Amino acid sequence: MTKRGTLLAADDNRNILASIKMLMENTFKEIITVSNPAEIPAALRNGKPEVVLLDMNFKSGINNGNEGLYWLREIKRLRPSAQVVLFTAYADIELAVNGIKEGAADFIVKPFTNAKMTETLISALDKSQGKNTKRKESEKTSMFWGESPVMQQLHTLVDKVASTDANILITGENGTGKEMLANEIHHLSPRSDAPMVAIDMGAITETLFESELFGHVKGAFTDAGTDKTGKFEVAENGTLFLDEIGNLSYSLQAKLLSAIQRKTITKVGDTKPIPINVRLICATNRDLNDMVSKGLFREDLLYRINTIHIRLPALRERKEDIAPLAGIFLKKYGGIYAKPDLSFDESAITKLKDNPWPGNIRELEHTVEKTVILCDSSVIKADDIDSSPQSVRIQSSEQKENGTLEDMEKEMIVKAIGECKGNLSVTAGRLGITRQTLYNKIKKYGI
């Protein structure tokens, strides 16, 4: 291997510095080591390193433990082209994530493996020298990242945190793709060969919660005719995705917290604890911090599920991605409905971009599907797109008077969905039913 580039390694542990120098001496042409962060500016000026390996915590303790972030900012100010790889303990992963947001290229968790250290530093060196380090086509998933700056930044963050076992909380409005992102994180993680199990927490009743998550033994309650394996066990060695975590009642939050803290579950009707090994990803469209302040969500549970917080932006915040997404859906539904040669004209693209899309990507997809079904021409114009959030029209007064109870129920649901701008969680709450009941009625009435 041809040696190239310069590495600056900054760590207060001289043994680690010696190990890094020995490990990377066949890769880098020059390796500079400093054990005192005050030496970093001079090393940057004199050595002009392409890659900097920066410890996140030195003994001097500047800025309440955020010394690594301080020196990251200094490095990016003094030598913007340098690729900074953060070196951190597992407990400080959140600091490293903040570092990624501030311009770090990657991070490595202590204790490290030689293979991981070598791979990460070579990747940073390649990036500094303009080599293509993007994932191969075979490694890509169905997640659409788009070209908007906010999504590109999020993409970088996800690539870094997916390889860890840290619990992740995904927030964002309905329809932004939280479950798809959870699938992407699972796919990129070391647990990808094990299952990802998804649960809608808003659809689980109080009485079935423990049985669904922890399982039960035969005879534990009426109708428990056989043993049941809970979702935690099904997801063993994989990922457990808890959607709509904000809809979980306060009493059930305590039971979930206990399982997470102890890393064990006990089946209903049994006394034997079962060890669990899952990576937890939660999602919600609600403001959990606000719920904590109002006494609706446990603060200790929020800390447990929120090691890494990822916020998915609304579609209106990433307008650059609307046209490409619409094109993907047009191709998809053009194939489904045997209309493969469809395209949007400029007026249609403008209308799509100007729409606020309160229902986000899900609403955009439904609008494109409806447009494909109804269009008569191969070129779709602005007038062909009905982008109003309430696509199903309410019956006339005469129809109301002559309608059945089912007609009236359907009308009430359609009206509520429209008033709630497609937010099914809010709609279910307004109607006084669970999300699962609402889903069943939407399917029943073809809404």
- Percentage of residues in the chain having pLDDT higher than 90: 55
Give the pLDDT score at 416. 83
Band (pLDDT 50/70/90 cuts) for residue 323 is very high
What tokens does 209 get?
Answer: 């919660």
Check: CB of residue 132 under 8 Å from CB of residue 91: no
Write down the pTM of the prediction: 0.65
Band (pLDDT 50/70/90 cuts) for residue 404 is low
Give the pLDDT score at 98. 79
Q: Which residues contact 316 (CB under 8 A, 6 or more apart)?
A: 356, 357
Q: Which residue has the higher pLDDT, 391 or 378?
A: 378
Residue 131 Rama label (left phi>0; alpha psi -120 to 50; beta): beta
Strand partners, 84: 52
Strand partners, 7: 31, 51
Q: Which residues contact 161 (CB under 8 A, 6 or more apart)?
A: 93, 97, 168, 185, 308, 310
Ordered by where they begin, the domains of the chain are 6-128 (3.40.50.2300), 149-311 (3.40.50.300), 315-384 (1.10.8.60), 397-445 (1.10.10.60)
What tokens does 204 get?
Answer: 């689980």
Q: Which residue has the higher pLDDT, 135 or 13?
A: 13
Q: What tens digit of pLDDT does each residue of 81-108 get?
A: 999 999 887 656 777 777 887 888 888 8
What does the alpha-carbon distance between residue 275 and residue 266 come to, in Å, rounded to a whole number?
9
Residue 428 Rama label (left phi>0; alpha psi -120 to 50; beta): alpha
Strand partners, 198: 241
Residue 433 burial class via C-beta count within 10 angstroms: exposed 0-12, middle 13-18, buried 19 and up: middle
Check: CB of residue 49 under 8 Å from CB of residue 143: no
Alpha helices by DSSP H, 244-393:
250-262, 288-293, 299-305, 322-336, 346-354, 360-374
Closest Cα partner for 130 from 83, 84, 87, 85?
A: 83
Q: What angle do CA 228, 234, 237 make, to 5 degrees?
A: 150
Give the pLDDT score at 400. 40
What tokens does 45 get?
Answer: 């000026």
